[in-house]
Chain A
């Protein structure tokens, strides 16, 4: 029955609205942005040349890669710890872990960044408390620097890092763990030599998702970095709205997409899409 004319028309009619919508509202304007990168302010490769030589742009790229790497390590490690309990804990532990993962996941990035400001700022919860017990006399600078950015971004990304790990841990055959224990391996050794290697696909997936997300992060670094540790996304914003240098902003966007695309290609080489969900 497949492939008759009416079937093909039906499929085309049903699928066309969304495809048209995305071509008009997404693909076409993206090509426009690519055009900007080659034509503003003057036609040519000038913006890409500036990208490679401008010290400011270079330092922002390096900072972004560094922060993304640190955030990835922190988030995946933390996510691993809570996922173990979410997947393998007792029923009560699982409900509590799920609550702790899903509530932050559903709360907006702004509220969460604001929560960190309330905790970390000079007159925030942590400084007030440390001063009241006389531990410090001057408030610690915990926000408007890279530390604040890393804390806020890790907090945002942990729930995202949890999902690939959870699916890897769920599909793991626990008889292997019992076998390792039965053969006399300690809990620690079973964890490090059996459990962790068997969830490798989840770790890779979770690390790549976290890293890719970190590269394009805008809101959290802008609020918790306080303009002092600018990352790529904020640089694009500043180039378009403050300098204004649309060509350079567009060129950075194009480079970011290409870089993320390459990383995604790498991801799908090692992990099948099914294993990520």
Chain B
């Protein structure tokens, strides 16, 4: 049975539109103009226990709005959501004890106190028994290498350390579902890797279900088997990560190294040259014809080394964003 079920989910915001300048402000006092923004425009999906799903989309695509609806912070305009059998926006304590929402740009810890104090508070708020509290706290502080920092005031910690503390606080009550919104934003590479590994490890051991948004494709590649891509509030793709490449990548990247160190002329007939660094050259070749074209190339030139790769996933994903955005640009935004 799915732990998260979403059908026909919609969220329409009514935003106040103000014209620029003083005159606009005065006018707004008497007659307000509103426009409606379709942040989420009818999406459906289901997530099974233990899945780690990456939620992708450009800024303003509706990812955070969806996470907020799943965590009960906002009501949808239409549609149904069931998480662990609960309707999130009823905000029952029994539901709130079973999930956590971690936002990379928001903090929940007490700024002036050591993280250990905030952890204690969480223990009381979530009614976590002492044994479990000690176990989880011990396990996570070790995994994230912050055991010696829990007694320092949070304001003295670096961003990365603080984020690790936030993550521990979010996991203390052993949630069944963890929603993550940009958990690694602004962190250095080491801290990013650390958090990523902790999440993967934690998922393996505890069968927790995770849904995460991130702008770093490495996060998604390292953690998620499945991705959902939304743009302008609509689901563009929902499937295994490998599908993104299989279905949307139009070309392959072929790297060649020539025996005599010279790069022969006329390579542009085979594909676009993306990098030219003798004796190496990188070509972008059409995916459909790459096999025949490459073998022709190999038979005509003396090549010492040869690899064929998929293009970087970022590239494919941003193409999906661009194309899906373009398709829907015609859909008019309702004004009232």
Partners in one complex: no
B interface residues (Cβ-Cβ under 8 A, vs A): none
Q: List the interface of chain A (C-beta within 8 A of B).
A: none
